[in-house]
Amino acid sequence: MRIAILDNERDQLRLVTHTATNLGHECHEYTDGASLLQAVLAQRFDLLIFHWRLPGLDSPALVKALRRAAGNRLPILFMTHRADAADMAMSLHAGADDFLISPVSGAELEARIGGLLRRSYPALHEPQLVFGPYQFLPAWRTVKLKGARIGLRSREYDLALFLFQNTGRLLSREQLYQAIWGADFEVLSRSLDTHLSRVRAKLDLRPANGFLLAALRGFGYRLEAIETVAAHEKVHAGAMS
C-alpha cells in the first residue's frame, strides 16, 4: 500500500520508511506540511504518518486539511516526543486515528501500521481472494496462478486486483487512473497502457485461464470471465439464426 511520511528528523524518517518498506509498502517521504498536502491532493495514499510537532507546522489545521482532501476513510497515524494528554486529545479531535510516542521502536511501529490498515481496509486483509485459477493474497500483495507465484510490481498488483474485483464491468481510463494513481492526468496515459500490457502478459489472461482483458476503443477496458464471453456469443448467435 502507498504510505506518505512527514518528518524533519532524518533518522526517524529513515526508521519509518525502512519499517514500512520491509512490510511491502510503497513509501513517499516529505519534510514539510505543504508538500504533503499537495501530494495528497494529487495522488492516492492508503496511510499518512507524520510528526505532530514540527517547526512552523500547525498540525491540527493540517489534519483538517488532509481530511477535506482525502476524506475520513484515510487513516492518519501521528508521532510525538512527549506523552502530553492535551496533544493526544487535540490530535484525535482534529481527525487523527492513532498516535505513537517517540522514540519509536520498529516492532511497535509495525504493529500500529498493521492494525490501522486492517481496520481501515478489512477486505484487503482477508486470507485470500480467489478468481478461478487466480489466487490473491492481499496481506503479502501476491498473486498466484494455479499455485505458481506471479512476480508483479506494486502498481501492477493494484491494477490486477482492481480489474478482478470489477470483473465484467467496463472501466474507463479515468476510473483506472483514479483507482491506481489517484489522479486523472493525461500524462499517465502511456503508463496505464504499459501497466495493462504487463498485467495481461504476466497473468497470462487468455481463454485457457478463464479470463480475457478486452480493450474497447474510446470507452476503456473490461476484464471478462470466459463463461460470460461464451454466454454473450451464444445469445448473439441465437439472435442471428
Domain 126-240 in the same topology as domain 2-122: no
Tens-digit pLDDT profile for residues 140-182: 788 999 999 998 988 899 999 999 999 999 999 888 887 887 7
Phi, psi of 217 (to 5 degrees): -55, 125
Q: How crowded is the C-beta side of 47, counted as CA atoms within 13 Å?
A: 27
Tens-digit pLDDT profile for residues 51-61: 887 878 788 88
Terminal alpha carbon distance of the chain = 51
- Among left, alpha and beta (phi > 0; psi -120 to 50; other), residue 214 is beta
Tens-digit pLDDT profile for residues 50-106: 888 787 878 888 888 888 888 777 899 988 876 666 767 777 777 888 888 877 888
Determine the Cα–Cα distance for residues 79 and 103; give it in Å rounded to an integer.
9
* Model confidence at 216: pLDDT above 70: yes
Please list, in sequence order, all residues whose beta carbon lies within 8 angstroms of the beta carbon of residue 24, skipping any fewer than 6 positions away: 140, 141
Instruction: Calculate the CA dihedral of residues 158, 163, 164, 165 and round it to 10 degrees.
Output: 80
Q: pTM of the predicted model, to two decimals? A: 0.55
Q: Among candidates 85, 37, 81, 30, which has minimal Cα distance to 58?
A: 37
Determine the Cα–Cα distance for residues 100 and 91; give it in Å rounded to an integer.
12
AA identity, residue 43: Q
pLDDT recorded at residue 229: 44
Per-domain boundaries in the chain? 2-122, 126-240
Determine the Cα–Cα distance for residues 31 and 97; give it in Å rounded to an integer.
21
Determine the Cα–Cα distance for residues 220 and 57; give it in Å rounded to an integer.
42
| 126-240 CATH | 1.10.10.10
* Model confidence at 234: pLDDT above 70: no
pLDDT recorded at residue 188: 54
CATH superfamily entry for domain 2-122: Response regulator (3.40.50.2300)
